[in-house]
Amino acid sequence: RQRYVEKDGKCNVQHGNVRETYRYLTDIFTTLVDLQWRFSLLVFILAYAVTWLFFGLIWWFIAYCRGDLEHLEDHAWTPCVNNLNGFVSAFLFSIETETTIGYGHRVITDKCPEGIVLLLLQAILGSMVNAFMVGCMFVKISQPNKRAETLVFSSHAVVSLRDDRLCLMFRVGDLRDSHIVEASIRAKLIKSKQTQEGEFIPLDQTDLSVGFETGDDRLFLVSPLIISHEIDERSPFWDVSRHQLEKDDFEIVVILEGMVEATGMTCQARSSYLADEVLWGHRFAPLLTLEEGFYEVDYGGFHQTVPVPTPACSARQLVAAAARRDAHLYWSIPSRLDQ
């Protein structure tokens, strides 16, 4: 089965036949940030090189029109820019102006009003280019995508009993000492379905409750946690037995979100489980041990599961059997008292 979300969190969806490509240019900042690094560096270099060349060409054109290049040896002539003797020197003067280096060899004179206007224009435009490009690179470098690399999900999900109720569980953990602030977890079932009207929905998304009503979806992720989805009458797995699970075709997407403690930026980590990655009748091995003065987490067994006795019937059948058993006990107690 083709995954909707890869195990590393990458969404396996490509957008094709997008005709309104102008929308990418209306948000050029986000477009540049989303580019791959090699293209971002290329745009970064071209932005500066083009502006330097453009203004260098204008400085050379002003010198050419004023006749400065024809009076290079005339010391009585006052040029627009001192010591500008060709396009290369005009290009170097453009770099010095925009980067505010100012070596002192080439300098503008007060006899060139068009040069003063161009100097002001280049200084303003250069500041705008610096702010825009440096801002893009800073946001791209500080993106919290790599923070998600240290947020790990168990390789399998499990189904077993918890307090006499069937639960679907998976484990999450954070490998760093710095915490994810305001961490929250979500889970969605991705499965094709057909409506009563005959409409086929290829990738229908259904929420799996992981404690939103009780607040259990908000995590204090200091040590690995087991996230539990109770299979009740509101769960899409209410009628699914072990035999049906082995033949079913679905994908469970889990999403962990929170703020990076060091930067305050929002981070999101994703993973998924196919039907054959859900183990019926297993639970996760414990990781936490108490040492002298601290708790130790053994991540060597993070993905390890152990088999446990679990009914092979569905949660509906399990609840119905428990109800029949309780009813039998209710009626058998008075009959015994009558005897």
Tell me, yes or no, whether 97 and 120 share the same domain.
yes
CB 113 within 8 A of CB 62: no
- Grouping H, G, I as helix, E, B as strand and the rest as coil, residue 229 is strand
Give the count of domains, the chain: 2
CB 184 within 8 A of CB 258: yes
28-84 pLDDT tens trace:
888 888 888 899 899 999 999 999 999 999 999 998 998 888 888 888 888 888 888
Which tokens belong to 68?
A: 């400065």
For residue 295, the domain's CATH number is 2.60.40.1400
Question: Is 43 within the bounds of a domain?
Answer: yes
Question: Is 48 within the bounds of a domain?
Answer: yes
Q: Structure pTM?
A: 0.75
Question: Is 227 within the bounds of a domain?
Answer: yes
Nearby residues of 115 by Cβ (< 8 Å), 6 or more positions away: 59, 62, 80, 81, 108, 109
Of the pLDDT bands very low, low, confident and very high (cuts 50, 70, 90), residue 337 is very low
Give the span between the Cα atoms of 118 and 59, in whole angstroms.
8
Question: Is 130 within the bounds of a domain?
Answer: yes
Average pLDDT of the segment spanning 235-247 = 91
Which of 100, 124, 142 is the C-terminal boundary of a domain?
A: 142
Question: Is 64 within the bounds of a domain?
Answer: yes
Tell me, yes or no, whether 201 and 277 share the same domain.
yes
Nearest Cα neighbor of 168 from 278, 310, 41 is: 278
Tell me, yes or no, whether 163 and 87 share the same domain.
no
194-225 pLDDT tens trace:
888 888 988 889 999 998 888 889 999 899 99
Structural domain harbouring 299? 150-330
Question: Is 27 within the bounds of a domain?
Answer: no
Question: Is 92 within the bounds of a domain?
Answer: yes
Tell me, yes or no, whether 254 and 326 share the same domain.
yes
Which tokens belong to 106?
A: 């080439």
Nearby residues of 288 by Cβ (< 8 Å), 6 or more positions away: 223, 224, 295, 296, 297
Of the pLDDT bands very low, low, confident and very high (cuts 50, 70, 90), residue 257 is very high
Average pLDDT of the segment spanning 285-296 = 88
Nearby residues of 205 by Cβ (< 8 Å), 6 or more positions away: 188, 189, 190
Tell me, yes or no, whether 57 and 134 share the same domain.
yes
Tell me, yes or no, whether 82 and 182 share the same domain.
no
Task: Tell me the residue type at 143.
Answer: Q
Nearby residues of 172 by Cβ (< 8 Å), 6 or more positions away: 151, 152, 153, 154, 185, 219, 221, 224, 225, 227, 254, 256
Give the span between the Cα atoms of 182 and 203, in whole angstroms.
30
Alpha helices in the chain (DSSP H): 22-26, 28-34, 37-66, 87-99, 113-141, 242-247, 315-338
For residue 106, the domain's CATH number is 1.10.287.70
Percentage with pLDDT > 90 across the chain: 42
Tell me, yes or no, whether 185 and 306 share the same domain.
yes
Tell me, yes or no, whether 307 and 205 share the same domain.
yes
Question: Is 156 within the bounds of a domain?
Answer: yes
Tell me, yes or no, whether 59 and 120 share the same domain.
yes
Give the span between the Cα atoms of 80 and 84, in whole angstroms.
9
